[in-house]
Each structure stands twice: as C-alpha cells, then as structure tokens.
Amino acid sequence: MNLIIDAGNTNVKLAIFKKSEIIHLETVVVDLFVEAVKKIFKEFPNIKSSIVSSVGSLSKDQMKVVAVFCDLHELTNASKVPFKNSYASPQTLGVDRLALATAAYYFNPHQNNLVIDAGTCVTYDMLNDFDEYLGGAISPGVQMRYNAMHQQTAKLPLLEKKELLDYIGNTTENCLHSGVVNGITLEIDGVIDLYKARFENLTVILTGGDTLFLSKRLKNTIFADSKFLLKGLNYLLEYNKH
C-alpha cells in the first residue's frame, strides 16, 4: 500500500492506494495533519511507502512524522519523471504539475495530452506525443476571480460560485456570477481550441476542485477526473522506488 499526500495551502488530501486503486481518501486542514497520519497508520498498518507533494504548507517536522511509519519520498524538481521535461526553468515548475503530466503519461501514453487543473489557479499542462513536457499556462481560478473583484473594488460583494440562470446578469450579483463563470468557461474552451489547432488528436483531461462545476459547461469533449493528481503522485512514487 502507498500513502499519497497532496498538501495545498490550507487543506491536505490523504489517499491510500492498493496498487492502482484508491481504497481510502480524506481531506484535513494542515493543523490536523499529524493526528490524521497517526490514525491512518493505525487503521492501515500495511502502508510501506509514501509520497508528499507540498506547496510549502507542511513543515519538515510534520513530514518527519510520516517517515516514522514508512519510507517517504518528498516530491521535488529533482525527482525522477517518466517523460522528457523541456520546461525552460524546471527548478520553478510546481511539483503538482509534474504529477499531472505523469498521470497523463500513463493515462494516454505517447499521445498529445492537455491537462487542465481547475483549482485555486487554473493550470494548463501539455505533454506531446513524443512524451515531452512543454509547459502551458496559469490563470486565476473560480474563487480567486470572485475574491479579486471584491478585494480590489470598493462596493462589489464577495460571492461564492453558483449555477447561472442566464448569461445576461440582471443584478450586480448575477453580473458577477456571469462574468466569473462564463469568463472562465470561455477561457478554457478557447485555450483548448488553440491547442487543438496545433496538436493533432489532442486528449483533454480536466481535474481539480472545480471539475464537476465546469465540466458540464465546456463545449469541448474532455475526460473529467477529479483524482488525476493523486493518481499521478502514486505513479511517481512507484517510479522513484527504482
């Protein structure tokens, strides 16, 4: 068994893989990480290996707790990957994007793949049919767009995402919803169209926290998999064992 740890800015996802199957998945706040890890190893004592992908929210002491129970691999830019990394500044590439490219490599090998991760930010990652990671783009995510309009204006309210009744907003709140939801949907479809024009037989994978919210709005055909990053991390853990 493998323990996969994906640490974001405020929450940590903990997934247990038995071979390629997720048999347990939970999300905890960073402050409760150590307590959650101890509980997991009590319930699943057969976990032998773990990988941590962190944007900086987990301390070294918190990671050491995992290493007490099993072999631990901390994902860095120096970790081995199964594809050629052609990013111009690989030392600045987010490790989450390495994991997404790895998941694409195993999901659809030797093909053109565009992975779109709709989370705090929306990231676009391109792996071509020569198994070469090219890079992509980063833009604000759904909630970040709402936050920015509230924080950088005097009177616009802070809203949570919601379903649209019409793309023409008839109140200020509806106008904000229309701007955010239609804006990000049209952006994603537009980016997909750009990549399709350049790469033949492009496969598009949508993942991240806003997968379900956005997937039904896109005109382009996509594969939606909210656990794609976790699967990529599991592949990377196995790849770095050798």
pLDDT at residue 15, as a whole number: 98
Q: Is 71 annotated as catalytic?
A: no
Helix segments in the chain, DSSP class H: 33-43, 60-69, 95-107, 142-151, 172-198, 211-215, 228-239
* pLDDT one-digit tens code per residue, 144-157: 999 999 999 999 99
Domain ranges of the chain: 2-74, 84-233
pLDDT at residue 106, as a whole number: 97
Check pLDDT > 80 for residue 142: yes
Q: List the catalytic residue out of 31, 61, 71, 96.
A: 96
Is 65 assigned a ligand-binding role in the annotation?
Answer: no
> What CA–CA distances, in Å, run from 14 to 4, 72, 169, 193, 230?
6, 14, 40, 34, 9
What is the second-level CATH architecture of the domain 2-74?
A: 2-Layer Sandwich (3.30)
Domain 84-233 part of CATH 3.40.190.10? no
pLDDT at residue 242, as a whole number: 73
Examine domains 2-74 and 84-233 and report if their fold is the same: yes
118 forms beta bridges with: 122
Cα gap 218→103, rounded to integer Å:
22
User: Terminal CA-to-CA distance of the chain, rounded, Å?
Assistant: 16
Is 37 assigned a ligand-binding role in the annotation?
Answer: no
pLDDT at residue 180, as a whole number: 97
Is 221 assigned a ligand-binding role in the annotation?
Answer: no
* pLDDT one-digit tens code per residue, 58-95: 888 999 999 999 999 999 999 999 999 999 999 999 99
Check pLDDT > 80 for residue 197: yes
Which of residues 1 and 242 earns the better pLDDT score?
1
Is 108 assigned a ligand-binding role in the annotation?
Answer: no
